[in-house]
Amino acid sequence: MKKTLNNIIYNGIYQLLILALPILTVPYVARVLGARALGSYSFITSISMFLSFVILMGMNQLGSRIIAQSHKDKDELGSNFVELWKIQFLVGCLVILAYTFFAMFSEYKTYLLLNIPYLIGFAIDISWVFIGLGEVRKVVVRNTLIKICSVAMIFIFVKKPSDLGYYVLINSLSIFFANIIFWLNLKGIITKESFKGFFSKSIFLKEAMILVIPQLAVQFYTNFDSTLVGWIAGPVQLTYYDQSQRIARMLVTLITSVSTILMPKMVQLRMTHSNNEKVDQLLKTSLDYTLLVAQLFTMLLMVNASEFVPWFYGKSYTPMTNNMLWVGLIMIFISYGEVFGSQFSLVNGDYKQYAIPAIIGAVISVTLNVICVNLWGADGGTAVIILTEFIVCFMRIYMVRKAADLRYLVHGQLRYVLAFLLTVFAVLRFKVVLPSLFLTMIVNSIIMTIVYVLLLVLMKTRINKDIGKLVKKVIR
């Protein structure tokens, strides 16, 4: 359990770094590139990000789970690694060829071609191996160094709207180099013998195909939706739509990173049926604190939206304030639903339970975006993504209703939601306004956090007991 806790801490630090670096680069890039060039970048990356999930073929879930199951047998570990990665590599080759052909006939030809290293990076991405082995530290340290270098390059080479190509290439190469470094740490995991039969059909192909369907479905309403908004409403509206979500989705990555770390641990516990009670307790704890933290981040975004947009992006981005205000709700729906999806459905190997909500979400998103974006532009797209994520979250819970003890898992959480609603209403109703936008955000954030925690304590939620346990450990 100590190793799991260390992995959560390492991953948490890394996710905080991922959040911190855009705080340095996004305001700078938003100002020097402008809304139109930034919209073009969002359109280009929405295509690449969608294709990256095709290339990965669900390896972040399937790969880490199989590696976690076979980590004690070196021969089995090496052969399973090759069986898994060859799916990713061969699919990656096909995708990159098709992408290159498409790029040659696109008005964004130059930028799309500059983004090819990004796709190659995902074809060689084996971070799932180290997550499955519980060696998160190796993933964190190397990616951190690459991220810092890419930030420095952005400040050096990106100076004006015409430098969009540099911006695309820097981000593209950072993914490529971050992923190629992992191969230096495969000693003791694979041998030449592991690659025998590389070009034969993989034993995991069927599972990968089943798992990639919901992954792609999710991408239809998290990445392809940006492509649709760009096609229908143009680059400026796409900037408002995409950038308003960017902060929320970065915070979601931080919240859901715990699911990524806990998944291999829960797989190992599930394999020993005597540990089912421990798994349920771990799932309950994860669900409770995911909801609490997701609500806190959502409130921070909602309460500070009107100050954050002009302070962070610039006054020219003020029209996207409403998008920023409401899109924060997706953090609650995504994070909460992901616990049921990753820590329950995928851990139990039930890909159908995981797939159906995502497919339903994809159908709803594409259908409503075509209608709502035509009518209301970025505002319509924001309304659609909030509704879509709510439905997907509901479906994730509904799909596991017979297998999970929902009464135990959601016990006491109505009080968390009530604390959230009362805090948002109180802080927005009696908001402190100061001459400085930054100080206004700081003061209101502190007040909001204090009110939220006090309400949770007064309502006698689980944090009372957990804080008590923590205090006793410190005293001892």
Give me Rg for the CA atoms of the chain.
22
Range of lowest pLDDT (50-54, 232-236, 260-264, 370-374):
260-264
SS3 label, residue 403? coil
Please return the burial class of 105, using the count of CB atoms within 10 Å of its CB with bins 0-12, 13-18 and 19+.
Answer: exposed
What whole-number distance in Å separates Cα of residue 450 and Cα of residue 197? Answer: 60
Confidence of residue 94 (pLDDT cuts 50, 70, 90): very high
Q: Find the mean pLDDT for residues 227-233.
A: 81
- Asked if residues 43 and 112 have their Cβ atoms less than 8 Å apart, the reply is no
Write down the H helix ranges in 223-350: 224-233, 235-271, 276-312, 321-327, 329-340
Q: Find the mean pLDDT for residues 123-135.
A: 82
Per DSSP, 190 falls in state B
Q: Which two tokens stand for residue 73?
A: 């047998």
pLDDT tens profile 95-107: 999 999 999 988 8
Q: What is the pLDDT of residue 189?
A: 73
Mean pLDDT: which of 175-184, 247-256, 305-314, 461-470 is highest?
305-314
Q: Find the mean pLDDT for residues 82-99.
A: 92
Which uninterrupted H or E stretch holds 204? none
Q: What is the pLDDT of residue 417?
A: 94
Higher local confidence (pLDDT), 428 or 273 = 428
pLDDT tens profile 9-33: 666 666 566 556 666 788 899 889 9
Q: Find the mean pLDDT for residues 201-225.
A: 76
Q: What is the pLDDT of residue 138?
A: 63
Q: How far is CA 43 from CA 35, 36, 112, 194, 241, in A?
A: 12, 11, 10, 40, 11
pLDDT tens profile 379-415: 998 999 999 999 999 999 998 888 778 888 888 899 9
What whole-number distance in Å separates Cα of residue 438 and Cα of residue 2? Answer: 39
Q: What is the pLDDT of residue 1?
A: 53
- Asked if residues 445 and 431 have their Cβ atoms less than 8 Å apart, the reply is no
